[in-house]
């Protein structure tokens, strides 16, 4: 896989940042505050990566618009109560990103987070300068729609054949299939390696830092 790619697009939560358990707790607390049954852990994890509104619709089918708005507000309040720092990155991720950038790769982020949420996270982890472009669910279509990937390709003037998507959820890998674009799954986040393999990634790694061994 050496010299096959020019652009590496990363998902954020569960791929670069160890945030899946915290997101799960916040989704559960948001539901409880609205008097809705607390979702099981894996059910909550299965919607991570979608836009927040889409996640609520999938997790709580048939909810009314005002309830959805309250769920989103509750979730955001809980999630933002915890500051983010470089320690929230998976071990070795910062050094991996620096090494990839120094090696000439363009780096990007495609995330289900809001722009405000991602900017806070980028600044908190000290990674903002490492990415040439980032796209968020509230400024484009939610995963698995491939629009955010197409926008990143256009911004970087990179062919999809020279681009790689790296993500921890089925939404990331389905988005790559829809692009279509090569993808690598990582099993450190929302979904298991067994489930990710069903979306035909080139590889399924335990951690994104293993990329350094193969590209």
pLDDT at 42: 94
pLDDT at 3: 81
**Residue 44: how many other CB atoms lie within 10 Å:** 23
pTM, to two decimals: 0.93
Asked if the model's pLDDT at residue 2 lies above 80, the reply is: no
Separation between Cα atoms, residue 6 and residue 104, nearest integer Å: 8
**Residue 133: how many other CB atoms lie within 10 Å:** 18
The string of pLDDT tens digits covering residues 167-185 is 999 999 999 999 999 999 9
User: Residues 92-131, buried b or exposed e (16+ Cβ, 10 A)?
Assistant: ebbebbeebbeeebbbbbbbbbbeebbeebbebbebeebb
pLDDT category, 192, cuts 50, 70, 90?
A: very high
pLDDT, average across residues 195-199: 96
How much of the chain exceeds pLDDT 70, in percent?
100
The string of pLDDT tens digits covering residues 48-93 is 988 889 999 999 999 999 999 999 999 999 998 999 999 999 999 9
Asked if the model's pLDDT at residue 19 lies above 80, the reply is: yes
pLDDT at 109: 98
Which spans in the chain are helix H? 20-33, 41-45, 52-59, 65-80, 93-102, 115-125, 147-156, 170-178, 193-196
Tally DSSP H helices, then E strands, for the chain: 9, 6
């Amino acid at each position: 896989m050496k010299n096959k790619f020019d652009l590496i697009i990363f998902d954020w939560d569960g791929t670069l940042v160890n945030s899946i358990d915290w997101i799960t707790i916040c989704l559960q607390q948001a539901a409880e505050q609205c008097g809705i049954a607390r979702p099981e852990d894996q059910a909550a994890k299965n919607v991570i990566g979608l836009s927040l509104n889409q996640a609520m619709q999938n997790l709580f089918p048939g909810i009314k618009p005002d309830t959805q708005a309250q769920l989103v507000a509750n979730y955001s309040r809980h999630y933002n109560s915890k500051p983010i720092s470089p320690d929230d990155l998976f071990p070795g991720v910062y050094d991996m990103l620096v090494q990839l950038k120094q090696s000439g790769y363009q780096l990007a982020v495609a995330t289900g987070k809001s722009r405000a949420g991602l900017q806070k996270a980028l600044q908190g982890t000290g990674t903002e300068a490492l990415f040439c472009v980032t796209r968020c669910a509230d400024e484009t279509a939610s995963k698995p729609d491939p629009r955010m990937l197409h926008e990143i390709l256009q911004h970087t003037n990179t062919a999809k054949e020279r681009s790689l998507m790296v993500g921890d959820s089925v939404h990331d890998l389905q988005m790559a299939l829809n692009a279509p674009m090569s993808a690598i799954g990582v099993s450190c986040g929302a979904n298991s390696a067994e489930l990710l393999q069903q979306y035909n990634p080139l590889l399924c790694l335990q951690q994104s830092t293993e990329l350094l061994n193969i590209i």
